[in-house]
Amino acid sequence: MITPSEKQVIKQATESIGVSQTVNITCPCCKTDWAEQHSPSNWRPERSMSVTKDKLGILYNCFRATCTRGKGFITSISIDTPVSTKEFRPNEYTDDLRALSEGERRYLEESFEITEDDISNEGIMYNESRGTYIFPIRDIRGYDVGLVDRDFSGSRKLKAISYWFNDVPKLHFIPHKDGLGTECIIVEDIPSAIKASKYMTAVALLGSHINDAQAAHLARLFSTATIALDDDAFLKAVKLRKKYSFYFKELFIMKLVQDIKNMTYKQLDNLME
């Protein structure tokens, strides 16, 4: 774990550079660790740490093979360049919703192993006029901040339509039953998140893209994350890992042969091991 004094050295290194620029410095972590070992003669103060100023913080990485602490992301620092954001306008959803019928519950159970408890816990409803399932979107606090109108019949071109009622990071959280933890699995949709949450806290992107704000939000909450996008989005997952690996202590990719929501729990047991 990086110390406050080491963090201050890294912050000071970015004072003279702009957003997206990088500077190389002597790693303060290496310097501390070697000093505690009475400055062995084979250590030299090389500029082994790269420090990059990002819109939402600082990325730092020491390239010494022996350095175990010099890699991470410092979030929520003050920078001169403002982060541009689109004006948020709440969506409206005016259709009437009802509880799921026995047949609709059975469909979710037979198709995705979504149980009665899952339906109750997630507040899944049904839109009679559209023939679609409605999944509330919940933030990290557990508050409903939107909903997803999901078509499983294949009758419309856009399978899932998201409606946002609050200006929050566009993510859906399902904590593990034992608590939030320090590790999460990132999936595309809510049905996949429901199943993955049996193993660890699950986060649904409601798509296959991660932006800077989402990555920074997740990095504040979790030290370790695993990207498990649907099997047709593996190359995108590789690019996301390359872009955001410094935000986390560890950022992994899980290569899937089929979507998590379509896997049986027996298959998931083997995968998660």
Q: Residue 54: is its pLDDT beyond 80?
A: no
pLDDT of residue 231: 79
Q: Residue 79: is its pLDDT beyond 50?
A: no
Domain end (from 19, 40, 75): 75
Q: 118 with 167, same domain? A: yes
Strands, sheet with 160-164, edge to edge from the N-terminal-most edge strand: 125-127, 132-138, 144-150, 160-164
Q: Sign of torsion, CA 99 103 107 109?
A: positive
User: pLDDT band at residue 161, thresholds of 50, 70 and 90?
Assistant: very high
Give how many domains the chain has, as a whole number.
2
Q: How many Å apart are CA 181 and CA 175, to the nearest integer?
A: 8
Q: 200 with 250, same domain? A: yes
Q: 172 with 70, same domain? A: no
Q: Answer yes or no: is 166 within a domain.
A: yes
pLDDT of residue 226: 95
Q: Answer yes or no: is 254 within a domain.
A: yes
Q: 36 with 119, same domain? A: no
Whether the Cβ atoms of residue 57 and residue 215 lie closer than 8 Å to each other: no
The parent domain of residue 210 ranges over 102-272
Q: Answer yes or no: is 235 within a domain.
A: yes
User: pLDDT band at residue 203, thresholds of 50, 70 and 90?
Assistant: very high
Which position has the higher pLDDT, 221 or 124? 124
Q: Answer yes or no: is 87 within a domain.
A: no
Its pTM surpasses 0.85: no
Region 194-202 average pLDDT:
97
Region 69-82 average pLDDT:
65
pLDDT of residue 147: 97
Calculate Rg over the CA atoms of the chain: 22
Q: 153 with 243, same domain? A: yes
Q: Would you tell me how many other CB atoms lie within 10 Å of the CB of residue 139?
A: 17
Whether the Cβ atoms of residue 208 and residue 236 lie closer than 8 Å to each other: yes
Structure tokens at 112: 């995705």
Q: 156 with 63, same domain? A: no
| Secondary structure (3-state) at 135 | strand
Whether the Cβ atoms of residue 186 and residue 241 lie closer than 8 Å to each other: no
pLDDT of residue 16: 87
Q: How many Å apart are CA 240 and CA 210, to the nearest integer?
A: 7
